[in-house]
């Protein structure tokens, strides 16, 4: 694998997208800094975002999509880096469960990511990238930044905040931090805290990146190198956690890759090895290694109850937001048990909550895939909430 | 949960739900355990201005509820009631479900803990037809209302009206109101002795509260 990665052409796109993204950008100057949990006031700040659909006259139809760890703002358009379709085109678009003929859909690249919102790969005034001088941020900081964007767009209350995995963490944080600004919330395959096992997997990924000599103590952009091997290994390890054993067995089993017999070497004999190597290679093409460190750290630090004396129910006390919590049976990264803990807290606080555990063998990744039960649940929840909000249905030709 | 088995006669099922609905005070907070497709919850919300929440085991049922804008949690009466705080509802309703739970007594204790009142409806295994089937054929009864054979049925804890009244005593529940329903799901005449209801009632609906 090392050779394959080493000979791969360096792609300039992450660098370019980090400062000058192929999407809308909101800018905040020194007079409106973002106050971070670590105590630092971050300025200037830029937030890269995409929108779909039209904001209605009373600004009541806005949906904020929160993306996952390595996602971006390109929810439902061709991704400028990969050339592939948007990461949630199954869910968001005309006539889709989150219907862009009806809703004004917003998605912003999260703080410390690398697709145009300020992060460790951003350069100040053409100087060197922040690298490890960038402050460590939290999920709450990401949500604060999103709130600044929503303010700038002149939107008071979001009709819906939706997202899976790390996106779901942001949804829960939105509901806790700004209960009066969230009409309904759809946290999918997520948790109110990151588990020890999940922190452990993240640490493996970070160590792989930092062990790569090309990482150069985080200063690889200035040094003109890229820690591709480390980042690829991090992605490979993480990717396993997004799948499930039954899905791996169904898809790959012990099948060999383009060969009839094992080669008695360390080539990618098995299809699963070849698949993971491909995933690692594809990832380093589009993602910044330091961003990966910062984003995984933000997830590790997430423990919503900790801000409320360890009582999660307090986070949602008095909330009038309608919640629909979704988990997947085969998701061992964000288990149903974690979702149930959220549901339990919402119940205890008297909030309006629905919960669906969807049966699938697709693992954690199920929230991104074609899972009809997920679409049916989402559509039912969103449509009924839209009726309660008094939003008209789109005319269909 | 096990509602489907008792829905063979749709209009009778509606009558049953209406009997339950009429026992709920307007404007109250209700938890419907085993809410199925949410028919009772909708009836309560629309007709009696009730803040209704539900628990349902089947994904199809939960999806139907969510699509109707109801707040329903996919879960199991046997395991998930423990998560609800004390006194969080005015009524907890267990409609045609208790016979499908693994630990009916524990479930009953939770109902009385979570709600100020519990409303329980269940099929009466003491009905004369069932007694007659068992007596004459020597086999577990399979009837129109209980169409599934003993080894397939989710209804693992059948009881008679008398049995249930005993259980109420064991968990310290006070029976505030009770009604037996005939084969058509219609309420039988009030004031009849329990023995008559136990013989001729196909279903019973009881309103319970915590005993003094």
Question: Does the interface ipTM go beyond 0.90?
Answer: no
Distance from CA of B73 to the nearest CA of A (A): 4
Residues 6+ apart with CB under 8 A from A361: A244, A246, A247, A250, A329, A330
Catalytic residue among A165, A291, A327, A339: A165
Give the CATH number for residue B148.
3.40.50.150
Distance of CA A315 to the CA centre of its chain: 22
Query: Would you say B67 and A383 are in contact if contact means Cβ atoms under 8 Å apart?
Result: yes
Chain B contact for A186 (CB, 8 A cutoff): no
Q: Rounded to a whole number, what is the distance in Å from the CA of B160 to chain A's nearest CA? A: 34
- How far is residue B20's CA from residue B44's CA, in Å, rounded to a whole number? 10
Domain, as residue range, for B64:
3-210
- Verify whether the Cβ–Cβ distance A355 to B74 is below 8 Å: yes
Whole-Å CA distances, A124 to A45, A117, A130, B101: 10, 12, 8, 63
Could you confirm whether A165 is annotated as catalytic? yes
Q: Which helix (H) or strand (E) holds B35?
A: none
- In whole angstroms, give the CA distance from residue A108 to residue A26: 10
Q: Do B67 and A383 touch (CB under 8 A)?
A: yes
CB A121 within 8 A of CB A295: no
pLDDT digits (tens, 9 = 90+) for B65-102: 998 889 999 999 998 898 888 999 999 999 989 999 99
Collect all residues with Cβ–Cβ distance below 8 Å to B159 and sequence separation of at least 6: B98, B99, B104, B122, B125, B167
pTM for the full predicted model: 0.89
Domain count, chain B: 1
Look at the alpha carbons of A290, A295, A301, A306 in this order and tell me if their dihedral is positive or negative: positive
Query: B34: alpha, beta or left, given left = phi > 0 and alpha = psi -120 to 50?
Result: left
Task: Tell me, yes or no, if A357 comes closer than 8 A to chain B by beta carbon.
Answer: yes
CB of B72 within 8 Å of any CB in chain A? yes
C-alpha B111/C-alpha B206 separation (Å) is: 13
Q: In a structure prediction context, what are the per-residue pLDDT tens digits for chain A, which is 397 residues long?
A: 333 333 334 444 444 899 999 999 999 999 999 999 999 999 999 999 999 999 999 999 999 999 999 999 999 999 999 999 999 999 999 999 999 999 999 999 999 999 999 999 999 887 899 999 999 999 999 999 999 999 999 999 999 999 999 999 999 999 999 999 999 999 999 999 999 999 999 999 999 999 999 999 999 999 999 999 999 999 999 999 999 999 999 999 999 999 999 999 999 999 999 999 999 999 999 999 999 999 999 999 999 999 999 999 999 999 999 999 999 999 999 999 999 999 999 988 889 999 999 999 999 999 999 999 999 999 999 999 999 999 988 776 5
Give the start-to-end residue ranges of the domains of chain A.
Answer: 2-9+199-296, 15-195+306-389
- Which residues in A lie closer than 8 A to residue B69 (C-beta atoms)? 384-385, 387-388
Write the CB contacts of B148 (distance below 8 Å, at least 6 apart in sequence): B5, B142, B154, B155
CATH of domain A15-195+306-389: 3.40.50.1820
CATH number of this structure's domain A2-9+199-296: 1.10.1740.110
Give the residue among A215, A203, A176 at the shortest CA–CA distance from A301: A203
Q: In the numeric block, which tokens belong to residue B119?
A: 């409303």
| Pair A64, A107: CB distance under 8 Å | yes
A347–chain B Cβ distance below 8 A for any pair: yes
Contact (Cβ atoms closer than 8 angstroms) between residue A276 and residue A240: yes
Contact in structure between A174 and A144 (CB atoms under 8 Å): no
Nearest to B67 among A322, A340, A380 (CB): A380
């Amino acid at each position: 694998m090392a050779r394959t990665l080493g000979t791969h052409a360096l792609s300039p796109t992450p660098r370019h997208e980090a400062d000058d993204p192929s999407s809308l950008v909101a800018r905040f100057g020194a007079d409106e800094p973002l106050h971070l949990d670590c105590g630092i006031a971050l300025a200037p700040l830029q937030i890269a975002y995409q929108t779909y659909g039209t904001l209605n006259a009373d600004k009541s139809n806005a949906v904020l999509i929160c993306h996952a760890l390595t996602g971006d703002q390109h929810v439902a358009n061709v991704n400028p880096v990969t050339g592939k379709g948007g990461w949630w085109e199954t869910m968001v678009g005309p006539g889709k469960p989150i219907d862009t003929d009806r809703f004004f859909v917003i998605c912003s690249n999260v703080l410390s990511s690398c697709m145009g919102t300020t992060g460790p790969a951003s350069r100040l005034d053409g100087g060197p990238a922040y690298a490890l001088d960038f402050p460590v941020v939290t999920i709450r900081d990401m949500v604060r930044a999103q709130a600044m964007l929503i303010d700038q767009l002149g939107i008071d209350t979001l009709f819906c905040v939706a997202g899976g995995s790390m996106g779901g963490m942001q949804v829960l944080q939105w509901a806790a931090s700004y209960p009066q600004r969230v009409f309904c919330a759809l946290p999918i395959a997520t948790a109110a805290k990151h588990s020890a096992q999940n922190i452990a997997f993240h640490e493996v990924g970070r160590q792989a990146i930092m062990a790569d000599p090309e990482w150069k103590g985080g200063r690889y952009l200035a040094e003109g190198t890229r820690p591709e091997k480390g980042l690829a290994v991090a992605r490979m390890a993480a990717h396993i956690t997004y799948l499930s054993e039954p899905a791996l067995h169904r898809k790959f089993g012990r099948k060999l890759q383009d060969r009839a017999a094992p080669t008695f070497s360390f080539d990618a004999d098995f299809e699963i090895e070849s698949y993971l190597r491909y995933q690692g290679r594809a990832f380093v093409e589009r993602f910044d290694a330091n961003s990966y460190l910062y984003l995984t750290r933000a997830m590790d630090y997430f423990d919503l109850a900790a801000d409320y004396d360890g009582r999660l129910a307090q986070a949602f006390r008095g909330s009038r937001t309608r919640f629909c919590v979704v988990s997947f049976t085969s998701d061992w990264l964000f288990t149903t048990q974690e979702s149930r803990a959220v549901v339990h807290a919402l119940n205890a606080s008297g909030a309006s909550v629905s919960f669906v555990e969807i049966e699938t063998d697709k693992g954690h990744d199920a929230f991104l895939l074609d899972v009809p039960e997920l679409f049916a649940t989402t559509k039912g929840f969103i449509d009924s909430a839209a009726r309660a909000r008094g939003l008209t249905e789109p005319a269909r030709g | 949960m096990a509602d489907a088995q008792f829905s063979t006669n749709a209009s009778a099922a509606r009558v049953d739900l209406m009997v339950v609905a009429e026992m709920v005070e307007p404007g109250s907070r209700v938890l419907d355990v085993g809410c199925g497709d949410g028919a009772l919850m909708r009836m309560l919300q629309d007709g009696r201005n009730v803040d209704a929440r539900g628990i349902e085991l089947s994904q199809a049922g939960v999806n139907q509820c969510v699509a109707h804008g109801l707040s329903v949690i996919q879960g199991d009466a046997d395991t998930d009631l423990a998560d609800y705080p004390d006194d969080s509802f005015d009524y907890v309703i267990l409609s045609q479900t208790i016979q499908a739970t693994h630990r009916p007594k524990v479930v009953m204790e939770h109902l009385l803990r979570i709600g100020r009142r519990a409303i329980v409806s269940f099929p009466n295994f003491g009905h004369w037809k069932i007694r007659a089937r068992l007596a004459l054929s020597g086999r577990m009864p399979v009837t129109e209302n209980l169409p599934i054979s003993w080894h397939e049925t989710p209804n693992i804890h059948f009881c008679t009206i008398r049995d249930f009244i005993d259980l109420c005593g064991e968990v310290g529940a006070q029976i505030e109101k009770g009604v037996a329903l005939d084969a058509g799901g219609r309420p039988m005449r009030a004031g009849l002795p329990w023995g008559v209801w136990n013989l001729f009632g196909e279903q019973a609906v009881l309103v319970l509260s915590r005993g003094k």
